[in-house]
């Protein structure tokens, strides 16, 4: 299908939908200047995200993991939402049922004003005590390493879901409910290889949704979706909202 026809088709689907769900990944924040995980600019001191964002890495050396998070927090603190984030805030207001599921931990959807939102991998501006479990917002830059809990003195960790850890049940339930009840699912800027989000396209499709992918490149989701639009999120996402 030609690009114009695809965009027309998506607009028509959105015009008649009552329920819309959106899944976003690092690609939407790339247009705000946040490095993606699997792009070359996502490396820090030659570590890959998979070497640092794990409970094992934190148990081995919490200070190095916190140094990485300080680097990422300082970088993200200088970034702002882009037109794609704002287009999703606009989209949220147009539908009876809307849910935004993001794998991003940078908080840019919230900063843009999104409210119907699950941050399924957590948020880089929150910390959790490894001893008492208390979760707090924390915007210190840099955070003192190693950071400790104001309540019990235990070691704090980022409130982020690391590789090998389970997502919060509430986030998963809400996501599956939103995937099962939408007429349109937009999958924006994700490589589609990290589970469970990698399974969201087939889940929504099986439930009857029209599934759209927006990405710079082809991904494993490209085979599953109804239509695929290649391009930068900051250009393509606003185009879908006339
Ligand atoms: P990835 O870095 O794996 O993938 C980013 C995707 O965005 C790729 O498919 C790119 O082609 C695409 N992309 C990059 N720039 C783009 C742009 N300007 N416009 C459109 N598309 C663009 O990031 P995620 O899929 O989000 O987990 O990764 C999933 C999870 O793995 C992350 O949440 C993170 C990571 O390790 C945790 O932090 C727990």
- Across the range 123-145, mean pLDDT stands at 97
Task: Please report which residue ranges of 145-199 form alpha helices under DSSP H.
Answer: 169-180
222: CA distance to ligand 1 center in Å? 14
Apex CA 46: angle with CA 40 and CA 47, to 5°? 100
Which positions are catalytic?
Answer: 121
State yes or no: pLDDT of 124 exceeds 70.
Answer: yes
Q: Measuring CA to CA, which residue among 10, 7, 6, 3 is closest to residue 210? A: 10
Provide the pLDDT for residue 234: 98
Ramachandran region, residue 130 (left: φ > 0; alpha: ψ -120 to 50; beta: rest): alpha
> Quick one: how far is CA 24 from the chain centroid?
5
**CA trace torsion 167, 173, 177, 178 (10° rounding):** -40
State yes or no: pLDDT of 10 exceeds 70.
Answer: yes
pLDDT digits (tens, 9 = 90+) for 179-200: 999 999 999 999 999 889 999 9
User: What's the pLDDT band for 213 if we cut at 50, 70, 90?
Assistant: very high
The CATH fold assigned to 2-33+81-121+167-239 is: Rossmann fold (3.40.50)
Cβ of 24 less than 6 Å from ligand 1: no
What is the share, in percent, of the chain residues with pLDDT greater than 90? 91
The CATH fold assigned to 35-78+123-160 is: SIR2/SIRT2 'Small Domain' (3.30.1600)
Cis peptide upstream of residue 146 (ω within 30 degrees of 0): yes
Provide the pLDDT for residue 42: 63
- Across the range 2-23, mean pLDDT stands at 97
- Could you tell me whether strands 19-24 and 184-188 are parallel, antiparallel, or unpaired per DSSP bridges? parallel
Provide the pLDDT for residue 97: 96
Provide the pLDDT for residue 1: 66
Provide the pLDDT for residue 131: 98
Asked which of 35-44, 97-106, 118-127, 155-164 is least confident by mean pLDDT, the reply is: 35-44
Cβ of 121 less than 6 Å from ligand 1: yes
Taking the C-alpha atoms of residue 127 and residue 225, their distance in angstroms, rounded to an integer, is 36
Let me know: does 238 contact 84? Beta carbons within 8 Å: yes
Provide the pLDDT for residue 40: 65
Provide the pLDDT for residue 47: 80
Cβ of 68 less than 6 Å from ligand 1: no
Provide the pLDDT for residue 192: 92
> Quick one: how far is CA 59 from the chain centroid?
25
Q: What is the mean pLDDT of the chain?
A: 95
What residue's CA is closest to ligand 1, atom 26?
A: 25
Provide the pLDDT for residue 41: 66
| Strand, helix or coil for residue 51 | helix
Q: Where are the domains of the chain?
A: 2-33+81-121+167-239, 35-78+123-160
pLDDT digits (tens, 9 = 90+) for 34-79: 988 776 666 777 788 888 999 999 999 999 999 999 999 999 999 9
State yes or no: pLDDT of 121 exceeds 80.
Answer: yes
Structure tokens at 58: 């934190």
225: CA distance to ligand 1 center in Å? 17
Its pTM stands at 0.96
Ramachandran region, residue 46 (left: φ > 0; alpha: ψ -120 to 50; beta: rest): left
187: CA distance to ligand 1 center in Å? 11
> Quick one: how far is CA 32 from the chain centroid?
14
Provide the pLDDT for residue 137: 97
């Amino acid at each position: 299908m030609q690009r114009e026809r695809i965009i027309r088709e998506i607009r028509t689907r959105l015009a008649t939908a009552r329920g819309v769900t959106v899944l976003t990944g690092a690609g939407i924040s790339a247009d705000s200047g946040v490095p993606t995980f699997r792009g070359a600019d996502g490396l820090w001191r030659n570590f890959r995200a998979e070497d640092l964002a794990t409970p094992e890495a934190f148990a081995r050396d919490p200070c190095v993991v916190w140094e990485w998070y300080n680097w990422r927090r300082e970088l993200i603190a200088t970034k702002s939402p882009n037109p794609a984030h704002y287009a999703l805030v606009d989209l949220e207001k147009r539908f009876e049922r809307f849910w935004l599921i993001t794998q991003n931990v940078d908080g840019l959807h919230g900063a843009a004003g999104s409210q119907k939102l699950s941050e399924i991998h957590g948020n880089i501006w929150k910390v959790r005590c490894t001893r008492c479990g208390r979760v707090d917002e924390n915007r210190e830059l840099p955070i003192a390493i190693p950071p400790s809990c104001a309540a019990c003195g235990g070691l704090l960790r980022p409130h982020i879901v690391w590789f090998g850890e389970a997502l919060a049940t509430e986030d998963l339930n809400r996501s599956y409910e939103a995937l099962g009840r939408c007429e349109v699912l937009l999958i924006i800027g994700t490589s589609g290889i990290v589970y469970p989000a990698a399974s969201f396209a087939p889940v929504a499709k099986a439930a009857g949704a029209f599934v759209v992918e927006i990405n710079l490149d082809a991904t494993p989701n490209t085979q599953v979706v109804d239509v695929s639009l290649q391009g930068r999120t900051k250009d393509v996402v606003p185009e879908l909202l006339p």
